[in-house]
């Protein structure tokens, strides 16, 4: 392999754009790209044909030179270890990041899936929570995710990392008019279940059959009153002791898996 030029400046146009994609949702949308880090996310994007360009730390590059087929067909740049550490978004970087094509999903195709099971999120602000919900949604058999415009950007690095690859596989749709989408779902025959402290216990058999959507609200404040009012059912998780509520991602996981359990028994 030819000797590669090593990028050694933060002012390099490619490095500046990489940093822009990591920090700005607007840039991700305009360029149709987002950034992934780590070998697992890199390999999945590569296998799916979504990888656009890769950036390798100099030490990672030297190590991979021992693997003859790693670079086959790979469009990449080598970055000095010092610069790589400054542009990474992780505490312990693995030495590889890449730009990936931003997925675009059609709402009609999400809603038309047989026996659709949706996770519907309002004002989820914490990137770790959002990424965990996406990962859990895949495991629980959720067929699509709908987010309102106040949620954390689904393609920011912390969200993407927390999905552990589920971002590539779970269809999602950003609802600019959240209320209109909820009305559309009701018109399409979806039953909407809202996680709510004033709700009824959720674990009655047959609750989550057919086309349904599970509404999860903001970590601190829950769902807005007007959103809760649109739900067909308000549900809550039974609590022991003095605990009033759970972390939003944990609550979502419990409810998604209860729904999955009931739907498997159908």
Domain residue ranges in the chain = 6-101, 107-265
Nearest to 177, CA basis, from 146, 222, 154 = 146
- What average pLDDT does the chain have? 93
Sorting pLDDT into bands at 50, 70 and 90, what band is 33?
very high
pLDDT of residue 206: 66
CA distance linking residue 164 with residue 170, whole number of Å: 12
Query: How many alpha carbons fall within 13 Å on the CB side of residue 194?
Result: 21
In the chain, % of residues over pLDDT 90: 82
pLDDT of residue 67: 78
pLDDT of residue 203: 59
CA distance linking residue 126 with residue 155, whole number of Å: 13
Mean pLDDT, residues 167-178 = 97
pLDDT of residue 238: 85
Question: Is residue 2 over pLDDT 70?
Answer: no
Q: CB 175: neighbour CB atoms within 10 A?
A: 19
Spell out the CATH class of 107-265. Answer: alpha beta
Nearest to 59, CA basis, from 93, 27, 91, 32 = 93
Structure tokens at 245: 């509520």
pLDDT of residue 204: 63
The string of pLDDT tens digits covering residues 65-119 is 887 689 999 999 999 999 999 999 888 999 999 999 999 899 999 999 988 999 9
Beta bridge partners of 79: 7, 57
Question: Is residue 201 over pLDDT 70?
Answer: no
Which of 55-69, 145-159, 239-253 holds the top average pLDDT?
145-159
Spell out the CATH class of 6-101. Answer: alpha beta
Structure tokens at 192: 């909407």
Instruction: Give Cα separations from 213 to 115, 146, 235 (angstroms).
Output: 11, 9, 12
Q: Is residue 202 within 8 Å of residue 258, measured between CB atoms?
A: yes
Question: Is residue 36 over pLDDT 60?
Answer: yes
Asked if domains 6-101 and 107-265 share a fold, the reply is no
Strands 33-37 and 96-101: antiparallel
2-37: burial string, b at 16+ Cβ within 10 Å, e else: eeeeebeeeeeeebeebbebbeeeeebeebebbbbb
The string of pLDDT tens digits covering residues 133-159 is 999 999 999 999 999 999 999 999 999
pLDDT of residue 199: 80
Structure tokens at 221: 């404040």
Instruction: Give Cα separations from 241 to 188, 195, 238, 247 (angstroms).
Output: 40, 20, 10, 16
Mean pLDDT, residues 231-235 = 94
């Amino acid at each position: 392999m030819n000797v590669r030029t090593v990028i050694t400046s933060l002012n390099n146009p490619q490095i500046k754009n990489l940093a822009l994609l990591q920090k700005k949702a607007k840039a991700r949308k305009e360029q149709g790209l987002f950034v992934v880090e780590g070998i697992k996310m890199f390999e999945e994007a590569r296998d799916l044909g979504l990888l656009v360009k890769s950036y390798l730390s100099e030490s990672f590059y030297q190590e991979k030179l021992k693997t003859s087929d790693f670079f086959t067909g790979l469009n990449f740049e080598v970055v000095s270890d010092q610069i790589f550490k400054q542009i990474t978004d992780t505490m312990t970087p693995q030495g590889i990041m890449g730009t990936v094509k931003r997925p675009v999903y059609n709402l009609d195709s999400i809603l038309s899936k047989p026996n659709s099971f949706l996770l519907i999120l309002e004002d989820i602000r914490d990137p770790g929570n959002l990424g965990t919900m996406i990962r859990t949604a895949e495991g629980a058999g959720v067929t699509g995710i709908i987010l309102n415009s106040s949620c954390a950007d689904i393609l920011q690095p912390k969200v993407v990392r927390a999905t552990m690859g589920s971002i590539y596989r779970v269809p999602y749709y950003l609802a600019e008019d959240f209320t209109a989408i909820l009305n559309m779902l009701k018109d399409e025959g979806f039953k909407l279940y809202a996680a709510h402290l004033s709700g009824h216990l959720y674990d009655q058999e047959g609750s989550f059959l057919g086309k349904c959507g599970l509404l999860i609200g903001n970590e601190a404040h829950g769902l807005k009153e007007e959103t809760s009012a649109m739900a067909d059912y308000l549900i809550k998780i039974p609590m022991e002791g003095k605990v009033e509520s759970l972390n939003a991602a944990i609550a979502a996981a419990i409810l998604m898996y209860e729904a999955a359990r009931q739907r498997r028994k159908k």
